[in-house]
Amino acid sequence: MTALRLLLSAFLLAGLPCAAPVAATPPDRILVFTRTAKFRHESIPVAVATLKRIAAAEGMVADHTEDGGAFTAAHLARYRVVVFASTTGDVLDDAQQAALEGFVRNGGGFVGVHAAADTEYDWPWYGQLVGAYFHDHPPGLQSTHVQPEHGGKPVGERWPITDELYNYRANPRGRVQVIATVDERGYDGGLMGADHPIAWCHAFDGGRSWYTGLGHDAAVYADANVIAQLVRGLRYASGRSNDC
């Protein structure tokens, strides 16, 4: 009787449908774009390597390109975030610009690093995406402090930075959420006064945009505070966090 029951059980189990394997969710991908048409920063390879490490630590995959041909609707559909890392000048043609606009309008994220603000001056949509265009910078690397802020108020401790410190054509406050300022009292050549934003974010045209003006000097990418900034930027732009 026992043998009969075992045989019957085996027969019934054999007739049950097998559970389909659960497909693994592919990781979010980011595209790091570093094409330059004007000044080229020597720190670009370090910036790319840093962004790739951050992406990997966040469970993302980062691809790097300098080819504007990557900017098609079909290709950008692979990505969650596009990063402009120290791009300069006119780097995309009209069709490529339209592809980036479509990407953002479909919910894509954008991260701008340093000279991303020194890019595409004849494309007003891009200027609004980044938040502000580069105006100039004091000569050389200078040292000051970065003050994080939230909701328009300083939060946390100031931290030191030595970098090329951009002045912008207009203060983006009011159009974006400022997340950090620099103290012009600590260096020479600041033109924006007591309120000098250096990093910010905003929801824009269906997507999300995050920017930091830091990143000229390769040594900046070893600064734990800058790394933390970039982590928050990727999390925000990818939609993983609302806190930029």
Q: Could you tell me which residues come within 8 angstroms of residue 178 by beta carbon, excluding any fewer than 6 positions away?
A: 149, 152, 172, 197, 199, 200
Q: Which two tokens stand for residue 201?
A: 């974010």
Per-residue pLDDT band at 232 (split at 50, 70, 90): very high
Angle 12-13-19 from CA coordinates, rounded to 5°: 135
DSSP structure class, residue 43: T
What is the per-residue pLDDT for 36? 98
Task: Write down the pLDDT at residue 23.
Answer: 53
Q: What is the pTM of this model?
A: 0.90
The whole-number pLDDT of residue 14 equals 43
Mean pLDDT of 175-185: 98
Percent with pLDDT over 70 in the chain = 90
- What pLDDT digit, counting tens, does each position of 87-109 carry? 999 999 999 999 999 999 999 99
Q: Which of 181, 187, 190 lies closest to 158, judged by CA?
A: 181
Q: What is the pLDDT of residue 24?
A: 67
For range 116-130, the mean pLDDT: 98
**pLDDT value for 162:** 98
